[in-house]
């Protein structure tokens, strides 16, 4: 059996080791310098907080989101903080086609020549209701945004990820994507499928590339989506998105080399 590890790849890290390292991670300034990282759903919530944290750690972030003025506000904030100049791509993932993602890949190729990471963060909740009432069009929208668009985007970006010497693709899951729960409908099913996508893709890439692929469950986090799902909850009792940065920076940065095919949590 060969003990050769191809250039850019590291020996595989087990789940417990990776999980402990993710939660304890402290990212020194400049750790992500010169990395080009695409964040979907960057306009608000966890995506916005993680885009800022990535930029603060030195990454050039590509801010993808549905609402242009939210992206512009974040862009200005990143510039004002003196972080690397980001890029902005307003895209509605519910209607974007594979051809649109190929066009985006061409644009990134001309601008950057590679991609060092993708944080697949954008999602919609759909309805919290029994399956026998679940709206067909809501089901389709949730699957399109949470799953299909993430696949289209990843497939289109693979050549750019292959041009990186150390790339990380991080998909966002949920507790209900790891254990099904009544009434969570398409959202839960889309997150189970996301975990499947992580397993298939990481297995395909593990022995041939320097691209690692993992999922992260943010856990209960104070955002618009959380408030929609739990309207009676006292918002301030829930973790702020900024607190998730250690695990996300670990998984998107150089510290997680060798971590692939794993389902991790951003909170203990």
Ligand X SMILES: NC(=O)c1ccc[n+]([C@@H]2O[C@H](COP(=O)([O-])OP(=O)(O)OC[C@H]3O[C@@H](n4cnc5c(N)ncnc54)[C@H](OP(=O)(O)O)[C@@H]3O)[C@@H](O)[C@H]2O)c1
Instruction: Report yes or no: 46 and 218 within 8 Å, Cβ to Cβ.
Output: yes
Instruction: Report yes or no: 194 and 150 within 8 Å, Cβ to Cβ.
Output: yes
Q: Which of 79, 224, 233, 235 binds ligand X (CB under 6 A)?
A: 224
66 binds ligand X (CB under 6 A): yes
3-state secondary structure of 120: strand
172 binds ligand X (CB under 6 A): yes
Is residue 187 part of the annotated active site? The answer reads: yes
212 binds ligand X (CB under 6 A): no
CB of 66 to ligand X, least distance (A): 4
72 binds ligand X (CB under 6 A): no
Q: Which helix (H) or strand (E) holds 156?
A: helix 149-162
Annotated active-site residue in 25, 75, 152, 187: 187
67 binds ligand X (CB under 6 A): yes
Q: Which is nearer to ligand X, 92 or 208 (CB)?
A: 92
CA-nearest of 14, 46, 7 to 226 is 46
253 binds ligand X (CB under 6 A): no
Read off the tokens for 211.
């691209």
CA-nearest of 84, 38, 76 to 57 is 84
Q: Which is nearer to ligand X, 41 or 86 (CB)?
A: 41
218 binds ligand X (CB under 6 A): yes
Distance (Å, whole) CA 22 – CA 9: 19
Q: Which is nearer to ligand X, 9 or 226 (CB)?
A: 226
Instruction: Put the strands of the sheet holding 211-217 in their side by side order.
Output: 87-90, 60-65, 36-40, 117-120, 167-172, 211-217, 263-265
22 binds ligand X (CB under 6 A): no
For the annotated catalytic residues, the residue numbers are 187
What residues make contact with ligand X under the rule CB under 6 A?
A: 41, 43-47, 65-67, 70, 91-94, 121-124, 145, 172, 174, 218, 220-221, 223-226
């Amino acid at each position: 059996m060969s003990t050769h590890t191809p250039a850019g790849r590291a020996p595989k890290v087990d789940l417990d080791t990776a999980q402990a390292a993710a939660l304890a991670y402290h990212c020194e300034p400049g750790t992500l310098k010169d990395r080009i990282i695409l964040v979907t759903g960057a306009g608000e919530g966890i995506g916005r907080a993680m885009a800022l944290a990535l930029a603060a750690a030195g990454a050039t972030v590509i801010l993808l989101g549905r609402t242009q003025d939210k992206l512009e506000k974040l862009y200005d904030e990143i510039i004002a903080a003196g972080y690397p100049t980001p890029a902005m791509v307003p895209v509605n993932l519910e209607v974007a086609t594979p051809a649109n993602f190929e066009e985006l890949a061409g644009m990134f190729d001309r601008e950057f020549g590679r991609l060092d990471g993708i944080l697949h963060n954008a999602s919609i909740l759909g309805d919290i209701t029994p399956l026998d009432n679940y709206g067909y069009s809501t089901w389709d929208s949730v699957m399109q945004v949470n799953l299909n668009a993430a696949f289209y985007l990843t497939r289109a970006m693979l050549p750019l990820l292959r041009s990186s010497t150390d790339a990380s693709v991080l998909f966002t899951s949920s507790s209900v994507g790891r254990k099904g729960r009544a009434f969570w409908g398409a959202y839960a099913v889309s997150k189970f499928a996301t975990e499947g996508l992580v397993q298939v893709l990481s297995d395909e890439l593990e022995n041939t590339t320097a691209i690692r692929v993992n999922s992260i469950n943010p856990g209960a986090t104070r955002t618009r989506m959380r408030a929609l799902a739990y309207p009676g909850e006292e918002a301030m009792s829930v973790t702020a998105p900024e607190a998730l940065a250690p695990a996300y920076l670990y998984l998107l940065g150089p510290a997680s080399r060798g971590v692939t095919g794993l389902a991790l949590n951003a909170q203990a």
